[in-house]
Amino acid sequence: MGQNISRRDFSKLLFTGAAGSALGVGAFSRRAGAANSRRVVVVGGGFGGASAAKYLKKLDPSLSVTLIEPKAVFYTCPFSNWVLGGLKTMQEIAQNYAVLKNRYKVVVLADTVVSVDGLKSTVKLKSGKVVGYDRLIVSPGIDFDFEAIEGYSKKVAESKMPHAYEAGPQTVLLQKQLHGMKDGGKVIICPPSNPFRCPPGPYERASLIANYLKEKKPKSKILILDAKEKFSKQGLFTKGWERLYPGMIEWRSASTGGRVLSVDSSAMSVITEFGPEKGDVINVIPPQRAGKIAFEAGLVDSSGWCPVNPISFESLIHPGIHVIGDACMAGAMPKSGFAASSQGKVTAAAIVRLFHGDVPVAPSLVNTCYSLIGPGYGVSVAGVYKLTTDGIVSIKGAGGLTPMDADDDQLSEEATFARGWYNNIAQDIWG
Amino acid sequence: MGEKMKLLLAAVMVFAASVHGGSELMADETAAVNPRGQILAFSCASCHGTDGKSVSIIPSFYGKSPEYLEMALKDFKSGKRYSTVMMRHAKGYTDEEIRLIAEYYGTVWQNNN
């Protein structure tokens, strides 16, 4: 746990990776020519990118903000497990960019960035169009390391063993497989090693698939073959599974036969260190790294993720380019949609202050993440973060999990608040 | 031109831009809002709605007095008031930060009225 950051440390951080470049001579003299036409380009319209675009315009409507996102409809990963559990429809997790365009006057381009020229400050799009920026925000989410598991590939994911860790067609495929499975079938879920998007995601998924199976195919089983020794909200999930789905869900840690070495999609089996396991539905969630464009733009270090200045999320590799959301390394913050949105707002505020010639204020970052174990059984984890000399750390004494001894009323209230959480965060970002 | 001069010039230009060029929203946000309060308060909007206008069962802040919001947050922090998750959040803020958050949501409402 680091100490509170001193003014001196703050200044030091501010100028790391030339975050202070906009305070330099170049930026100021440019301002004289183009005071009101500062351009920000945002790559990616998910939780991070859409939040940054909206809050940039909210803070300073005179900015020219362009959001580049190939998909007209964005299906959120949060609540896609609810779809698998039969508690939401795909339409209910669909977001679009109409409000950002019409109300906030964000220019939304349905296109894909193929390259970034940091020296010229331009991005090149798939259509051939070139767009210039004064500040670039890259929010590409994750990419999958399909090669990490022998026998697995994008093709296998799209045909037989969906990862369903990007909501959309993958969610629909997994749901279709669950609906087609016989009663008494076996569902295998293979969560990846850390770090990965939405740490409680695979376990909420197991819970809500169990909810569906309990209702429709009660003789079925779920086997979780984990690449880890422990997982997020483990105590709460385990207790919930015992209470709601006794005997239905089995979890194996990496060292007790959970580690997946390869898959055989024609035999529908998963090969672990302890031997093969056959499944009727197999959900393989591969290891992850920063989204593709972060690699193209050279924003990634040897870890596969993007190092950033924690004050403004400006890249430590390329000045003038900010990286937010799952793709960046944000200290103690998990890779979650909420965290990405929190980072998007902090980055928007920092960029507006830099444009105005002000020093960014110390960031305040938060995460709130609900997991549904059953329709009236919700649990949550909260985190409040601050900047210290060790980077972004959790504030001691704050945050944490739903208590293990929470009564049924609280678990039911948390399930209700989970629904409220979705409606409000979606409205705060896309609405 | 010396560095100090450039800074001064830039500051003047920024001031001019914010007064002259911005729309109502920009003038409101830059003129009256404490930037620290704003950055703290932005976090709350994810669950409580943009500007504290909730569209769900989660309570709105919009139109509530800074005094009420400050008291509620302090009561969550001390455990005097029941909550599911707010106690875990409120403990992450000093009393001064709570005051700034409460003041921000009071200001947003006042600026719109």
Provide the residue type at B8 as one letter.
L
pLDDT of residue A15: 57
Do the Cβ atoms of B58 and A417 come closer than 8 Å? yes
Mean pLDDT along residues A299-323 = 97
β strands within A176-285, DSSP E: 186-190, 221-225, 249-252, 260-264, 269-272, 275-278, 281-284
B58 contacts A368? CB cut-off 8 A: no
Q: Is A321 helix (H, G, I), strand (E, B) or coil?
A: strand
pLDDT of residue B111: 82
Query: What whole-number distance in Å separates Cα of residue A317 and Cα of residue A328?
Result: 12
List pLDDT tens digits, range A335-391: 999 999 999 999 999 999 999 999 999 999 999 999 999 999 999 999 999 999 999
Which residues, 6+ apart, have CB-to-CB distance to A274 below 8 Å?
A257
pLDDT of residue A313: 98
Residue A400: list chain B partners with CB under 8 A.
88
A420 contacts B29? CB cut-off 8 A: no
B58 contacts A417? CB cut-off 8 A: yes
Q: Of B9, B14, B91, which is closest to A398 when you measure between CB atoms? A: B91
Exposed, middle or buried, A119 (CB in 10 Å: 0-12/13-18/19+)? Answer: exposed
pLDDT beyond 50 at A196: yes
Q: Model confidence at A404, in pLDDT bands (50, 70, 90)? A: very high
Place of tokens 């409120």: B90
Q: Is pLDDT larger for residue B108 or for residue A2?
A: B108
Smallest CA–CA distance from A362 into chain B, residue: B36
Q: Bridge-partner residues for A401, per DSSP? A: A381
A23, A92, A312, A384: best mutation site toward chain B, by most B Cβ within 10 Å? A384
B56 close contact with A: CB closer than 8 A: yes
DSSP state of B19: I
The model's pTM is 0.90
Do the Cβ atoms of A296 and A304 come closer than 8 Å? no
pLDDT beyond 90 at A322: yes
Q: Is pLDDT larger for residue A423 or for residue B23?
A: A423
Q: Model confidence at A16, in pLDDT bands (50, 70, 90)? A: low
Q: For chain B, what percent of residues have pLDDT higher than 90? A: 64
Exposed, middle or buried, A404 (CB in 10 Å: 0-12/13-18/19+)? Answer: exposed
A59 contacts B26? CB cut-off 8 A: yes
- The DSSP H or E segment spanning A30 is helix A25-33
Phi-psi region of A105 (alpha: psi -120 to 50; beta: other; left: phi over 0): left
List pLDDT tens digits, range A59-81: 999 999 999 999 999 999 999 99
Which residues, 6+ apart, have CB-to-CB distance to B88 below 8 Å?
A382, A398, A399, A400
A342 contacts B43? CB cut-off 8 A: yes
Query: What whole-number distance in Å separates Cα of residue A10 and Cα of residue A310?
Result: 10
Phi, psi of B27 (to 5 degrees): -60, -45
B31 close contact with A: CB closer than 8 A: no
pLDDT beyond 80 at A35: no
Do the Cβ atoms of A80 and A89 come closer than 8 Å? no
pLDDT of residue B7: 43
pLDDT beyond 60 at B19: no
CA distance to A28, A52, A362, B44, B70, per residue, from A356 (Å): 9, 17, 16, 25, 30
Q: Bridge-partner residues for A366, per DSSP? A: A384
Do the Cβ atoms of B72 and A384 come closer than 8 Å? no
Query: What whole-number distance in Å separates Cα of residue A420 and Cα of residue A119?
Result: 44
Q: Model confidence at B93, in pLDDT bands (50, 70, 90)? A: very high
Q: For chain A, what percent of residues have pLDDT higher than 70? A: 93
A311, A351, A428, A430: best mutation site toward chain B, by most B Cβ within 10 Å? A428
β strands within B35-113, DSSP E: none
Q: Model confidence at A109, in pLDDT bands (50, 70, 90)? A: very high
Q: What is the mean pLDDT of chain B?
A: 80
Smallest CA–CA distance from B27 into chain A, residue: A60
Mean pLDDT along residues A170-187 = 98
Exposed, middle or buried, B24 (CB in 10 Å: 0-12/13-18/19+)? Answer: exposed
Exposed, middle or buried, A57 (CB in 10 Å: 0-12/13-18/19+)? Answer: buried
**ipTM of the assembly?**
0.91
Q: Model confidence at B75, in pLDDT bands (50, 70, 90)? A: very high
Phi-psi region of B73 (alpha: psi -120 to 50; beta: other; left: phi over 0): alpha
pLDDT of residue B110: 83
Do the Cβ atoms of A309 and A16 come closer than 8 Å? yes
Do the Cβ atoms of A146 and A291 come closer than 8 Å? no
Query: What whole-number distance in Å separates Cα of residue A45 and Cα of residue A414?
Result: 28
Which residues, 6+ apart, have CB-to-CB distance to A181 below 8 Å?
A187, A217, A220, A280, A281
Q: Model confidence at A143, in pLDDT bands (50, 70, 90)? A: very high
pLDDT beyond 50 at A131: yes
pLDDT of residue B11: 40
Mean pLDDT along residues B27-49 = 83
pLDDT of residue A12: 67
Per DSSP, the residues of A278-310 read E-SEEEE---EEE-HHHHHTT---TTSSEEB-T
Domain at B3-108: CATH code = 1.10.760.10
The pairing of beta strand A64-68 with beta strand A107-109 = parallel
pLDDT of residue A37: 83
pLDDT of residue A267: 98
Which residues, 6+ apart, have CB-to-CB distance to B80 below 8 Å?
none
pLDDT of residue A4: 64
Q: Model confidence at A36, in pLDDT bands (50, 70, 90)? A: low
B10 close contact with A: CB closer than 8 A: yes
Mean pLDDT along residues B71-76 = 98
Residue B7: list chain A partners with CB under 8 A.
28, 357
Q: Of B50, B58, B88, which is closest to A420 when you measure between CB atoms? A: B58
B83 close contact with A: CB closer than 8 A: no
Which residues, 6+ apart, have CB-to-CB distance to A378 below 8 Å?
A370, A371, A372, A402, A411, A412, A413, A414, A415, A416, A417, A418
Q: Model confidence at A39, in pLDDT bands (50, 70, 90)? A: very high
Query: What whole-number distance in Å separates Cα of residue A50 and Cα of residue A68?
Result: 10
Smallest CA–CA distance from A51 into chain B, residue: B46
A31 contacts B88? CB cut-off 8 A: no
pLDDT of residue B25: 42
pLDDT of residue B74: 98
B85 contacts A380? CB cut-off 8 A: yes
Mean pLDDT along residues A44-58 = 98
Query: What whole-number distance in Å separates Cα of residue A381 and Cα of residue A410?
Result: 14
Query: What whole-number distance in Å separates Cα of residue A132 and Cα of residue A68?
Result: 12
Q: For chain B, what percent of residues have pLDDT higher than 70? A: 72
